[in-house]
Amino acid sequence: MSFISKWAGLLGLLAVLVIGDQIRINRPGHKYRLTVEVTTPDGIKAGSGILAVVPDRNYNRSGRTTMRGEAVFVDLGQDGAKGRNLVALLAHRQDAKLDFDDINYVALRAHGAAHGNRVSFNDIQRQTGIVPVQGDLVPVLVSFGDPKDPTTARLVAADRAEAVLGEGYAIRGLNAEVVPNGLWPIDFGGALGEPVTRGIAVKLPWLAAPGDGAATALKAAGLPSGGEAREAFARK
């Protein structure tokens, strides 16, 4: 073996090790489908999204568990030209502030509540079935009078949805279901595994526009609108 071939082989091995380690660090700990169901005068409408939870696996352990995915948008049908809608944000209300981390633990805690025992991160991937998301696990819900205008955001109370959505509308329920990670990072669908849901910017176009439309939307809904505002709608 020549000197060049030897070093080429070593560099190739190093590249495989580096790529493999990056996959280990960034691979989701688990994925779950969050589904929102709404009772309407025209029947039950539902929307769902696949969210990925990534625990901190860095060697320095100075990071935090993170989320990939987007808020769940439910199309409730037409109301004139603008349509009714409900959006489950990637945030929870905690007193006078928004919590952007609790969304990471929704599936884990929902399974624990459903089965009457605590579920650990190591066990969550083995959980099966659809479980209800109730009480404090329900994320912040908002609705847009015009999805193209963030200033039309309104906070929706889970037990009084008709106050914003109109007569005949009610939150039927939210649920979570753990889904396989698939062959991440090539989980493009089908046998490869379900990818994280994307496309919220098509429904809320101001998210992709210049400016801070996310903060504007949260403020319009009467919610805190700090520097993390966009994380309420989308995480990379």
Strand arrangement of the beta sheet that strand 72-77 belongs to:
72-77, 84-88, 141-144, 153-156
pLDDT of residue 96: 84
pLDDT of residue 201: 96
The phi, psi pair for 28, rounded to 5°, reads: -55, 140
Say if residues 68 and 104 touch (Cβ distance below 8 Å).
Answer: no
Place of tokens 């000197």: 3
- Closest listed residue to residue 139, CA positions, set 194, 188, 101: 101
pLDDT of residue 226: 78
Report how far residue 51's alpha carbon sits from residue 20's, in angstroms, rounded to the nearest whole number: 23
- Closest listed residue to residue 84, CA positions, set 156, 166, 6, 9: 166
Give residue-wise pLDDT tens across range 173-211.
999 999 999 888 889 888 888 999 999 999 999 999 998
Mean pLDDT of 118-123: 88
pTM here is: 0.89
Higher per-residue confidence, 101 vs 21: 101
Higher per-residue confidence, 16 vs 210: 210
Residue 20 has pLDDT above 60, yes or no: no
pLDDT of residue 14: 63
Residue 62 has pLDDT above 60, yes or no: no
The secondary structure element, H or E, covering residue 126 is none
* Six token digits for residue 153: 């955001």
Handedness of CA 8, 11, 16, 19 (dihedral sign): negative
Mean pLDDT of 123-144: 96
Say if residues 232 and 219 touch (Cβ distance below 8 Å).
Answer: no
pLDDT of residue 56: 83
pLDDT of residue 189: 83
